[in-house]
Structure 1
């Protein structure tokens, strides 16, 4: 079946020129869209704002290449759209149309794109707004029927595992490896103990899985250099998908409830399950969400 074309950028620009009061946000995917819609709805603003997944917009590879952006990425499409808005829209219609992307490794690598219509998440991704004591405790103790000791144990596990995977993802990007990431269980010294996760064991498994033996020394040098500069806050050194997988692995290993069918991808709905334990009021204290609310609360323009 052929792909249904999205909305042309020229159509969007015409819409905002004729309707400059519209408040629209473009995001990477359905999870981001639904989280923002829930946030705005909780504040009684659902009728005033639209949140749109970028796959609804037609942005060709030619546009991405012309702007020096990698193809095949929703994040690249959003950055390109923000740049197009900045170039095409008049000052009057620019006020409240924006694109929101995950920060990922961009802050760490100092490659963030500066564009008037572009917002980055406060942490590496949207899932990181769930990586806090209140949300995790509610999810593990209430939703999963675990105990305080499990909450403390998971915190320890997350701080061991997530920065290692994040660092390897940086190496994957910097060296353009296009690699597969093994399960975290491939990094265990003791196969029955998730807390026995070891960076060197996992790196060796990563190299083995992707047949990167000829680059082993380079990968380990890059890892040591990047890991030494990791920030302190775990939300700045974790990948969202890794976080969700880590939670699910831990709950299963702790004899918690079965959270998903093995035939289904955790990535599809795992973040949603965690977000169910997120108190919307926590988001008020985050810079991104307070900025997004500004034009709805007092008419302040985003820019």
Structure 2
């Protein structure tokens, strides 16, 4: 912690994982060698520190715990250029204020992948990454994904609201043939999910909570995205049209979308405005 007191020119960002680090390093390209981006695994954070902030043991929990520790150890008399960044996930809905702190920032939407989800980026992805092989316009493509994505997000949010620590499944196993305009079968997915987690007795609770949350969810689809679900659904949608199966893997889909994001467009979002100010890019 004393590093920031003796070397105030250092600017550090801490993120959950490698894909987040690569994306943010790209956005901050040109900021100088004093600007660094670290992953959660680069810092040793004991489990008791994670428990103290009420998070699960994992990348997000470690980053939140680090931000909490920074706030305790670095007094408020000086300004330090360090920021811990985590996916908002359900925080904006379930805990809108509890995780705000001087050294912690949450994504403007549910996750980093949410920044990839706009028509301009999707058009570029369909044209350059997939060479126009998928015969759908960007808005049609997005509508097909969003219909399933919203249902999945509501299930995840309902489970979190009820304190159910479920093991989740690939949603494409409950999706029909996109060429036949078949989509996501939420009822079938829920049946398989409850079976996998031996939780049939919670079905009524889950369905009731989903209906309740559906009434209060906003309209912006970027607030209903789970990163892995998004990439798996895109993989499902493009698979019938793409011969090269490497292009349909979840990891390649995620990286391809990230490559299609324009740096200039990211400058409009509050999180990245804050990051660029810290990195002295503005």
When normalised by structure 1's length, the TM-score is: 0.84
User: What per-residue deviation string (whole Å, max 9, x for no partner) do you get for residues 184-239 of structure 1?
Assistant: 23434679746432333332232233232111111111111112221100001111
| Contact map agreement 2:134 2:241 (CA 8 A) in 1 | no
The counterpart of 2:42, out of the listed 56, 61, 66, is: 56
Decide whether aligned partners of structure 1 residues 27 and 211 sit closer, same or farther in structure 2, where only a CA change above 3 A counts. same
- Counting only pairs closer than 5 Å after superposition, residues 138-217 of structure 1 correspond to structure 2 as 138-145=124-131, 146-147=133-134, 149-188=136-175, 193=180, 195-217=182-204
Counterparts of 1:220 and 1:141 in 2: how far apart (Å)?
Answer: 39
The counterpart of 2:268, out of the listed 265, 272, 285, is: 285
- Name the SS for the 2:245 alignment partner: coil
- Counting only pairs closer than 5 Å after superposition, residues 1-303 of structure 1 correspond to structure 2 as 13-41=1-29, 44-67=30-53, 69-91=54-76, 93-112=78-97, 113-145=99-131, 146-147=133-134, 149-188=136-175, 193=180, 195-255=182-242, 257-260=244-247, 266=250, 268-297=251-280
- Name the SS for the 1:50 alignment partner: strand
CA RMSD of aligned residues (A): 2.3
- Name the SS for the 2:89 alignment partner: coil
| Contact map agreement 1:130 1:274 (CA 8 A) in 2 | yes
- Could you tell me how far 1:110 is from its partner in structure 2? 2.8
- Name the SS for the 2:136 alignment partner: helix
- Name the SS for the 2:108 alignment partner: coil
User: What per-residue deviation string (whole Å, max 9, x for no partner) do you get for residues 263-287 of structure 1?
Assistant: xxx3x45422211111111111111
Counterparts of 1:60 and 1:207 in 2: how far apart (Å)?
Answer: 33
- Could you tell me how far 1:156 is from its partner in structure 2? 1.6
Counterparts of 2:8 and 2:175 in 1: how far apart (Å)?
Answer: 55
Decide whether aligned partners of structure 1 residues 193 and 70 sit closer, same or farther in structure 2, where only a CA change above 3 A counts. farther
